[in-house]
């Protein structure tokens, strides 16, 4: 286990942030030791992977625990993955073995352990659909426990872990995949990609390649332009509210889901006039208004100011309060 005191830690928004301790855990035992260190130092613990969905303030008074345990095992279509594996390597591993279920989640940055926290989703798939178990360190019970899918309370970009941020540290995930032929995700960009190529039954690998290519155009590479992907969640509104919005904005696409209707947050931000614009020291990505980028070395406060400006503007124009998808560490 590597322990650095008063050290910087990575985050894809490139914010200069220091933590009281930064611990790199290579094993479950290291995780337990980091918890003991935090207890001795009377500090909270902040578990993370690559910091791709994280907005840390300048000084983080905490033990930052970077999960760096590795290993992917496959048996009878079941993958057991240690939290420190890169998520996209997990998708690649599955696709190479002809296992379907997570191919639409190709190219999502970050590590496997972070994936169930916000129940990562893209193109109609969510990791929660394939989860069998999540192995966590439960700080309340002071031991490692296995939680099954129901225990995880998966929702839209939400889970038990997100609701109880300080209680659980994910150390491994188990996914149940399938040998069934894959389906083309029912999303306009993906359907267009295969229509243009006259391909009605793409292979798993072809679906993975399509998603990687489509995402490349929609999302800036954080190693080139710092960002943390979608900054806000798509809001859900009542049927009545959705109808009223569509009357006023006929180009708005809406997606009914149960008794609620999902509204694309990117559309609201674009209509509020922010796409491709600067707010103070930050820029809203020109190809996707849902992404706040940091090309000029903005501070935490600059980004919070941009977040507040967007939220207020969308609220006054549409009566909808956007909720951040990124994890803001004050
Ligand atoms: P898009 O096609 O421009 O659509 C905008 C939004 O409408 C999406 O966020 C999506 O919600 C929703 N939507 C579109 N078609 C839908 C359908 N057939 N059924 C239900 N909902 C639909 O979206 P995009 O920005 O290119 O993103 C495509 C996918 O990649 C989305 O699933 C998005 O979540 C995912 N993505 C995730 C991140 C991230 O950082 N987490 C970043 C970029 C893209 P959903 O988001 O609920 O799917």
179: pLDDT strictly greater than 90: yes
Ligand 1 contact, 209 CB (< 6 A): no
Structure confidence by residue, pLDDT tens digits, 228-267: 999 999 999 999 999 999 999 999 999 999 899 999 999 9
The total of other beta-carbon atoms located within 10 Å of residue 178's CB is 12
pLDDT exceeding 90 applies to what percent of the chain? 95
Structure confidence by residue, pLDDT tens digits, 96-143: 999 999 999 999 999 999 999 999 999 999 999 999 999 999 999 999
Query: How many C-alpha atoms does 266 have within 13 Å on its Cβ side?
Result: 15
pTM, to two decimals: 0.93
The residues annotated as belonging to the active site are 157, 230, 325
CA angle 57, 159, 36 (to 5 degrees): 60
Ligand 1 contact, 107 CB (< 6 A): no
Question: Residue 16: left (phi > 0), alpha (psi -120 to 50), or beta?
Answer: beta
In the reported structure, the alpha carbon of residue 214 is separated from the centroid of ligand 1 by a whole-number distance in angstroms of: 11
* The pLDDT of residue 330: 84
In the reported structure, the alpha carbon of residue 5 is separated from the centroid of ligand 1 by a whole-number distance in angstroms of: 40
List of domains in the chain: 2-67 (3.30.43.10), 72-176 (3.30.465.10), 227-329 (3.90.78.10)
């Amino acid at each position: 286990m590597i322990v650095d005191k008063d050290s910087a830690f990575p985050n894809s928004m490139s914010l200069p942030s220091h933590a009281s301790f930064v611990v790199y855990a290579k094993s479950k035992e290291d995780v337990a030791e980091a918890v003991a260190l935090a207890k001795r130092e009377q500090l909270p613990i902040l578990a993370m992977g690559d910091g791709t969905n994280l907005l840390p303030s300048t000084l983080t008074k905490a033990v930052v625990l970077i999960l760096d345990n590795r290993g992917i095992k496959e048996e009878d279509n079941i993958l057991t993955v240690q939290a420190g594996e890169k998520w996209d390597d997990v998708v690649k591993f599955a696709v190479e073995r002809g296992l379907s279920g997570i191919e639409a989640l190709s190219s999502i940055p970050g590590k496997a352990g972070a994936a169930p926290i916000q129940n990562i989703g893209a193109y109609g798939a969510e990791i929660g659909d394939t989860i069998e178990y999540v192995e966590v360190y439960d700080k309340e019970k002071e031991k490692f426990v296995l939680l099954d899918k129901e225990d995880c309370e998966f929702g839209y970009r939400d889970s038990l872990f997100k609701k109880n941020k300080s209680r659980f540290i994910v150390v491994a995930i188990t996914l149940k995949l399938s040998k069934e032929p894959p389906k083309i995700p029912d999303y306009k960009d993906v359907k267009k990609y295969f229509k243009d190529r006259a391909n009605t039954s793409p292979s798993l690998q072809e679906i993975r390649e399509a998603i990687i290519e489509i995402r490349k155009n929609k999302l800036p590479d954080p190693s080139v332009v710092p960002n943390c992907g979608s900054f806000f969640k798509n809001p859900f509104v009542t049927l009545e509210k959705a109808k009223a919005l569509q009357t006023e904005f006929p180009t708005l696409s809406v997606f009914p889901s149960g008794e609620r209707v999902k509204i694309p947050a990117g559309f609201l931000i674009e209509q509020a006039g922010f796409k491709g614009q600067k707010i103070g020291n930050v820029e809203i990505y020109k190809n996707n208004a849902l992404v706040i980028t940091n090309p000029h070395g903005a501070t935490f406060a600059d980004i919070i100011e941009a977040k507040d400006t967007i939220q207020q503007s969308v609220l006054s124009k549409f009566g909808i309060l956007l909720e951040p998808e990124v994890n803001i560490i004050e």
